[in-house]
C-alpha cells in the first residue's frame, strides 16, 4: 500500500475497500434516515467522512459502536468517554486549565466547574475502541484521535489515513502539508 493519501472526501466505494482490510465482519451500511435518527437521538452530527464510512457498512465487534442495534446506554457511555476522561484527570491528576480560572478548593466544586467548561467543547464520536472523530457536520479531513483521559494522540490525519494506519499497517506519516486540522479544545492535549 502507498502512504500517499488521496485528496478529497472519502467515497462509499473507497470506504468499502478500506473496510475489507478491517478483519471484521460487516453488516449492511446505515441509511441516511438511520444516520439522522442516531444524530437526533444522541445530539451530535457525524462528520461527512464518518457518515460515508457508516453508509458503506457497519463493522461488527466489541470495539465498533453498533449505531443500528447497540445498547443506547453503552453508546452514550462511549460518547461521554472523552469528557469523563478529562474529569477523571481533574479529580485524580490535578488537571486544571489556566483559562478555567482559579481552581476551586473543594473537589466537588472543581468537578462542577470543569464540567461547565467542558459542556461547549466539540463532541468526539467513537469510530473504533477509544479512537474518535470530531463531530463536524458536513466536513471531512479531521484527524482520528486516540483518546484516553487527556492522553490524546492522532492515529490518522483523516479517517482514510486512520484506517490505513490502524488496519493496513501503513505508518501514520507526517501531518498534511497544510497541517492537521485543529479539533478545538481537544488539540491542546495532542502531542
Considering the chain, what percentage of its residues have pLDDT values greater than 90?
81
Quote the CA–CA distance of 79 and 69 in Å, as a whole number: 16
What's the confidence (pLDDT) of residue 173?
Answer: 83
What's the confidence (pLDDT) of residue 7?
Answer: 53
Contact 85, 150 (CB under 8 A): yes
Read off the pLDDT of residues 101-119 as tens digits, 9 standing for 90 and up: 999 999 999 999 999 999 9
Distances in Å between the Cα of 16 and the Cα atoms of 12, 26, 58, 99 are: 6, 10, 10, 43
Q: What is the pTM of this model?
A: 0.90
- Is the per-residue pLDDT at 1 higher than 50? no
Contact 58, 67 (CB under 8 A): yes
Which pLDDT band, with edges at 50, 70 and 90, does 179 fall under? Answer: low
Burial class (CB in 10 A: 0-12, 13-18, 19+), 177: exposed
Read off the pLDDT of residues 56-94 as tens digits, 9 standing for 90 and up: 999 999 999 999 999 999 999 999 999 999 999 999 999
Contacts (Cβ under 8 Å, ≥6 apart) of 121: 83, 184, 185, 186
The secondary structure of 131-156, three-state, reads: EEEECCECCCCCCEEEEECCEEEEEE
Quote the CA–CA distance of 56 and 179 in Å, as a whole number: 28
- Is the per-residue pLDDT at 3 higher than 60? no
Average pLDDT on 108-134 reads: 97
Quote the CA–CA distance of 175 and 172 in Å, as a whole number: 8
Q: When comparing pLDDT for 182 and 188, which is higher?
A: 188
What's the confidence (pLDDT) of residue 191?
Answer: 63
**All cell numbers assigned to 86:** 478529562
Contacts (Cβ under 8 Å, ≥6 apart) of 25: 59, 60, 61
Q: When comparing pLDDT for 63 and 179, which is higher?
A: 63
Contact 143, 159 (CB under 8 A): no
Read off the pLDDT of residues 10-61 as tens digits, 9 standing for 90 and up: 999 999 999 999 989 999 999 999 999 999 999 999 999 999 999 999 999 9
What's the confidence (pLDDT) of residue 137?
Answer: 84
Amino acid at each position: 500500500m502507498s502512504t500517499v493519501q488521496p485528496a478529497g472526501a472519502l467515497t462509499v466505494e473507497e470506504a468499502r475497500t478500506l473496510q475489507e482490510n478491517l478483519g471484521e465482519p460487516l453488516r449492511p451500511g446505515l441509511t441516511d434516515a438511520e444516520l439522522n435518527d442516531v444524530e437526533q437521538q444522541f445530539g451530535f452530527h457525524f462528520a461527512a467522512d464518518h457518515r460515508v464510512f457508516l453508509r458503506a457498512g457497519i463493522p461488527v465487534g466489541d470495539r465498533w459502536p453498533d449505531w443500528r442495534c447497540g445498547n443506547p446506554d453503552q453508546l452514550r457511555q462511549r460518547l461521554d468517554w472523552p469528557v469523563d476522561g478529562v474529569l477523571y484527570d481533574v479529580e485524580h491528576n490535578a488537571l486544571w486549565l489556566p483559562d478555567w480560572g482559579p481552581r476551586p478548593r473543594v473537589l466537588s466544586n472543581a468537578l462542577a466547574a470543569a464540567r461547565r467548561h467542558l459542556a461547549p467543547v466539540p463532541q468526539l464520536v467513537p469510530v473504533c475502541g477509544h479512537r474518535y472523530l470530531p463531530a463536524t457536520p458536513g466536513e471531512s479531513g479531521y484527524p482520528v484521535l486516540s483518546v484516553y483521559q487527556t492522553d490524546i494522540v492522532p492515529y490518522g490525519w483523516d479517517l482514510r489515513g486512520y484506517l490505513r494506519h490502524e488496519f493496513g499497517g501503513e505508518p501514520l506519516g507526517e501531518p498534511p502539508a497544510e497541517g492537521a486540522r485543529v479539533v478545538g479544545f481537544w488539540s491542546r492535549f495532542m502531542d
